[in-house]
Structure formats: structure tokens, C-alpha cells
Amino acid sequence: MIATYRVREKRDKLESRAQGIAIGLTIGTWTELPASRLDQVRRHCGRVVGIEVLSEESDGQVIAHLTIGYPTSNFDGTFASLLTTVFGKLSMDGEIRLVGLEIPESLAKLYPGPKFGVAGCRHRFGVYGRPLVMSIFKACIGLTLDELVEQFEAQASGGIDLVKDDEIFFTDAYASPEERVQAYRSAAQRVAETTGRETAYAVNLTGPVHRLKDRARKLSELGAGALLVNAIAYGYDVLADLAADPEIQTPILAHPAVSGALYGSATHGVSGDIVLGQLMHLAGADMVIFPSMYGSVTLGAAETEKLLNHLRDDSVFAPSLPAPSAGIYPGLVKRLIRDFGDDLILNAGGGIHGHPNGPAQGGKAFLEAIEAVQSGVELIAYAQDHDALRGAIATWGVKE
Ligand code: 1AE
């Protein structure tokens, strides 16, 4: 396992800092060990692979990349071992950021990876040759089941592919996840009589960790379209455990809540592409929500490109579907397809519910925008005789 760190350090301290990491995160110390013990632990010792100075700072320090190799035998196939080794106590050691991880295939294979991936999700939701469209429940806490069903129906009526819970919806007080899955499934079947499409429901998988797998199996049996998992808050090992379970035959949609605490700083933490791309893919997320480059909360373009490469890496696992999110509206669809291609989920909350003629027209506007882009017609021109798209463009405009 090769890890690269961005550090700020005195130039003449780089070598000892790198050695300190290689030893400190593996065998802990070597200075006080007797020769016999040293031989025993040597094969577990990290080593310095490279030191690269990137820039000189005005205070005499340099910004550098330190690259450290860790023996694969130090890892046990859990995220706990991976993260604690490569960035455990080191994450607290001043200005240091984990910016690269090369995971050898032998180690990657200890993790589940996506069960469905892009092809499996497309098959499951019956969507081919275009991006998927997903709507987010908004203002759902405190509503009764009947009111929630009404909101589900309104969203599904636009003919969209998925409706997902808001990730902050944890309370079961009015409608448990099990009740919601059953009620929305009936609603989706009713709506399908008009739209011809049975909209799937991504239910928020909530509750204590020790009950999640049972609940996921139950929700799977009841017909949940996908399981929304707050993967950072619950932890990557929880996500991996769900993905590895053969009885859970439902795609997993990972939400990035809390991830900004890990990747948000340019100088500390872990790069966004690792947090939301590489590790989500390894842990088995079939679909991954992340902040888009142009919405209300964002991830930089360079990190986004690396994130996409991780999600789409098919060398060991099936690729995952990216869902660039936050502040997405129909006028962005041309740009989203240009930047991300067709294997993509267009995911919107406000950009559907805020449509002047309601959420059904909000969802339809996304589908019309896709039609426009796929037929090579400008969104504004297509909107002339497509009411839903016209309403969306009048509200949010077009950004190409
Ligand atoms: C990156 C997460 C976005 C999210 O969770 C969310 O709810 C977005 O909502 P809208 O589309 O910005 O209203």
C-alpha cells in the first residue's frame, strides 16, 4: 500500500519526517529493539518510497510530497486497519494531508466493491442510454405517511427513475422505513399506470449499527429500490458489511454527509477523491452522491476528475454511478452530460420541488433537458415547445 502525503516541513527535516512516518505507523519504534526482535518485525516495517519538494514557502519551509510504502501484511481487509495505518495518529500531526493511495490488487480484493455497479443499476431501474434522474424528498420530517405518499407521488409523476429520502430523515415516529417502502411501492405502481415508469425508492437505512443488516434485508424483501447509506457517519466498514451481504440484493446509494470534515481543508485531512471516490468504490457503493463542481456545495475540478476515475475504475470491481449533487437544476444538464457523460445520476431536491408548476413538472423538466441534449438541440430552443423545461429555465436559467 503506497500512501502520499502533502506536508509543510523544513527542507532538512523531510527525510527524518518521512522515516518517522514509515516506522511510526508500522512497527512503532526500532531504536530500542534487540536484534532478534528487530528481525521478527522487520517485514512489517514501512519504507520511504519518495520525497518530492513542490514549492518553497516564505517562512523557509517547503511544501512536499512524502510517499510511504506499507507492507500489505499489516492490513486485514477492514477500513479500520487501512485508515488507522495510513492516517491514524498521523492525521493529528500538524499540517499534513493524505493525497494519494495506491491499493494493490491483492489487498483491494479483500473488500467487496459494488454488487450492482453501473450495469446492474441500469438493469435494475430499466434505464439505458441516458443519465438517470433522481429526486430528493424535502421537508419530510414530521409528515404523516399519507402526506409522505402524496409527496412521493408528486415526484414520481414526472416519470423520473428514483426518489430518494433526504439523508437527514431518521425519525420513525410517523412512518417507519418499512412502512414507507411498502406505501411508496404501491404509489409507484399507481403512478406507473400513467407514466409507464415505476419509480424506485431509495430508503434511508437508519437505526443502530447492529440492526442495519437485518433491516437492509427486510427493506430489500419489501421492494426497496435502493438503500441510502450515510456512509461516512456510519463508517466505511458498515457500508462494506452491507455490500458484502449476499442476502441484501438492493443497490447501495452512498451519501457524503460529514465528508467535508475530512476533505474540506486544502492542507489537512484526506483528499475528496479518496474519501468520496476510492474508498466508497472499494466499500461497495453502487451509486455515490458527491458535491458537484458547480452547485451550492462544491468539490474542485481536479479532485472531481480523480474521484470519477476511482468510481469508474473497472480493474478490480464493477464501476459505480456518480451522482454530482447540491444545487442541480435542469439548465445544468448539458454541462453535466458534457463533464460526466451519460453514466450519471442527475440528482436534485430544490431543482425539482422548486419548479413553478410543482415537482412532477420539475422531474419532467430534467427528462426534457436530457432529450434536448441527446438530440443536439439547445436547451432554450427545446424549451419553446416543452412546458416543463420552459418553466425550469424561467426559474433558474441555463448554465453551459
Ligand atoms: C451533496 C449533497 C447534496 C444533498 O444532500 C442535497 O440534499 C441536495 O439538495 P439540493 O438538490 O441542493 O436541493
Per-residue pLDDT reduced to its tens digit, 246-284: 999 999 999 999 999 999 999 999 999 999 999 999 999
For residues 89 and 130, state if they share a domain: no
Residue 5 has pLDDT above 90, yes or no: yes
Distances (CA, A) of 186 to 149, 189, 363: 9, 5, 20
CATH at residue 321: 3.20.20.110
For residues 250 and 362, state if they share a domain: yes
CATH at residue 71: 3.30.70.150
Q: How many residues does the chain have?
A: 400
pLDDT digits (tens, 9 = 90+) for 110-149: 999 999 999 999 999 999 999 999 999 998 888 999 999 9
* Domain closes at, from 71, 86, 108: 108
- Residue listed under C-alpha cell 419532467: 364
Enclosing domain of residue 51:
2-108
pLDDT of 338 reads: 96
User: How many CA atoms does the CB half-sphere of 227 hold within 13 Å?
Assistant: 31
Q: Which amino acid is at 184?
A: Y
For residues 98 and 215, state if they share a domain: no
pLDDT of 46 reads: 94
Per-residue confidence band for 33, with pLDDT thresholds at 50, 70 and 90: low
For residues 205 and 323, state if they share a domain: yes
Using CB atoms within 10 Å of the CB of residue 291, give its burial: 0 to 12 exposed, 13 to 18 middle, 19+ buried.
Answer: buried
Residue 31 has pLDDT above 80, yes or no: no
Question: Is any atom of ligand 1 closer than 6 Å to the C-beta of 4?
Answer: no
Neighbouring-strand partners of residue 69 = 2, 47
For residues 39 and 140, state if they share a domain: no
pLDDT of 30 reads: 59
For residues 285 and 364, state if they share a domain: yes
Phi and psi dihedrals of 290, rounded to 5? -150, 160
Question: Is any atom of ligand 1 closer than 6 Å to the C-beta of 362?
Answer: no
Give the sheet arrangement for strand 226-230, strand by strand.
Answer: 321-325, 287-291, 252-255, 226-230, 200-204, 162-164, 132-136, 345-348
pLDDT digits (tens, 9 = 90+) for 358-400: 999 999 999 999 999 999 999 999 999 999 999 999 999 999 8
Average pLDDT over residues 36-41: 77
For residues 93 and 134, state if they share a domain: no
pLDDT of 132 reads: 98
Nearest residue by C-alpha to atom 1 in ligand 1:
291
pLDDT of 287 reads: 98
> Do residues 324 and 344 touch, judged by C-beta distance below 8 A?
yes
For residues 143 and 208, state if they share a domain: yes
pLDDT of 8 reads: 97
| Angle (nearest 5°) at CA 178 between 239 and 362 | 85
Of 136, 167, 353, the residue with max ligand 1 atoms within 8 A of its CB, to mutate for a pocket test, comes to 136
For residues 285 and 251, state if they share a domain: yes
In whole angstroms, give the CA distance from residue 134 to residue 241: 25
Tell me the CA–centroid distance for residue 37 and ligand 1, in Å. 53
Tell me the CA–centroid distance for residue 89 and ligand 1, in Å. 32
Query: Of ligand 1's atoms, which has the minimum distance to the CA of residue 136?
Result: 7
For residues 133 and 92, state if they share a domain: no
* Domain closes at, from 54, 73, 108: 108
Choice among 55-69, 169-183, 270-284 with the minimum mean pLDDT: 169-183
Of 347, 353, 355, the residue with max ligand 1 atoms within 8 A of its CB, to mutate for a pocket test, comes to 347
Average pLDDT along the chain: 95
How many CB atoms are closer than 10 A to CB 8? 16
Per-residue confidence band for 40, with pLDDT thresholds at 50, 70 and 90: confident
pLDDT digits (tens, 9 = 90+) for 336-368: 999 999 999 999 999 999 999 999 999 999 999
In whole angstroms, give the CA distance from residue 374 to residue 369: 9
For residues 341 and 222, state if they share a domain: yes
* Domain closes at, from 108, 137, 169: 108
Question: Is any atom of ligand 1 closer than 6 Å to the C-beta of 374?
Answer: no
Question: Is any atom of ligand 1 closer than 6 Å to the C-beta of 299?
Answer: no
Ranges of H-type helices in 341-386: 350-353, 359-374, 379-383
Distances (CA, A) of 280 to 149, 231, 276, 331: 31, 8, 6, 29
Tell me the CA–centroid distance for residue 292 and ligand 1, in Å. 10
pLDDT digits (tens, 9 = 90+) for 181-192: 999 999 999 999
Choice among 234-238, 299-303, 378-382 with the minimum mean pLDDT: 299-303
Using CB atoms within 10 Å of the CB of residue 226, give its burial: 0 to 12 exposed, 13 to 18 middle, 19+ buried.
Answer: buried
Average pLDDT over residues 147-162: 97
In whole angstroms, give the CA distance from residue 254 to residue 232: 9
Neighbouring-strand partners of residue 55 = 63
Q: Exactly one of 13, 89, 164, 364 is catalytic; which is it?
A: 89
Overall number of domains in the chain:
2
Average pLDDT over residues 4-27: 95
pLDDT of 36 reads: 72
89 is catalytic: yes
Closest by CA to 180, choosing from 143, 130, 125, 131, is: 143
For residues 230 and 357, state if they share a domain: yes
pLDDT of 295 reads: 72
